[in-house]
Amino acid sequence: MADTGDQLLREVEEDLQREQWLRLWKTYGRYAVTAVVLVIVIVAGYMGYKEYRQSQLAADGHSFWVAERNMTLGETDQAVAIFRSLVEDGAEGYPYLAGLRAAEALASSGDRDGALALYDQLSNEQSVDQRYRQLAGLYGVMLLVDEGDPADVERRIELLLNGDWRHSAMEMQGLLQLRTGDRAAAAETFTALMADPNTPTTLRNRAAELLAIAGGGS
């Protein structure tokens, strides 16, 4: 008898729970359906965007390869045109890489102003990590150190002396000092470069050679 009573109580409780869920569904069911639909739309949109990005990256990779092939074949104008299109419309890191390659191609073909404009554009691109912005700035300095306005070159170098490329920037500073006839300053710069334990070996060896040219060697 007790078992029968317990079973009856369970059935009544289940009926009450079922009625409660039905009332909740009648009241809030439309919101639940809306939420489910919204989740489906969001997931579908994300998956579609992900596939689009993957497709774009694949297309950009192919375009970059074609431009590199054009460079190898000596078709510089075609290569630069493709690189420039990637700078404007490429995804992920392609705009930066394509900008560097386009600037290099322009410099090699004698268009220093065009190359410098691209380096400056990349060095001011806020979506790029500071380290790589400064690398573009360093390439600009390398382009100018032999013939550019000394004051402009020095200003550009100053922006790099506290960054990741400071050792290369110091080398450019010493070269600029040699070019402008300030051998004492150049010797001091190359000496500091050699004394820095973090200076890369290859750069330190060059600094020793340049120090001798500056007249500061033993």
* All structural domains of the chain with their residue ranges: 1-134, 145-218
Mean pLDDT by 10 residues, the chain (218 residues): 50 54 53 47 49 68 86 90 88 85 91 94 91 93 94 97 94 94 95 95 93 78
Q: Which of 145, 77, 146, 66 is nearest to 108 (CA)?
A: 77
* C-beta of residue 143 within 8 angstroms of C-beta of residue 107: yes
Q: How far is the C-alpha of 110 from the C-alpha of 132, rounded, in Å?
A: 24
Given this model, what pLDDT does residue 49 score? 42
Given this model, what pLDDT does residue 174 score? 94
Given this model, what pLDDT does residue 192 score? 96
Given this model, what pLDDT does residue 144 score? 95
Contacts of 10 by beta carbon, 8 Å cutoff, 6+ apart: none
Q: According to CATH, what is the number of the domain 145-218?
A: 1.25.40
Kindly state the tokens that stand for 8. Answer: 């009856």
Q: How far is the C-alpha of 68 from the C-alpha of 90, rounded, in Å?
A: 15
How far from each other are the two terminal CA atoms of the chain, in whole angstroms? 111
Given this model, what pLDDT does residue 26 score? 56
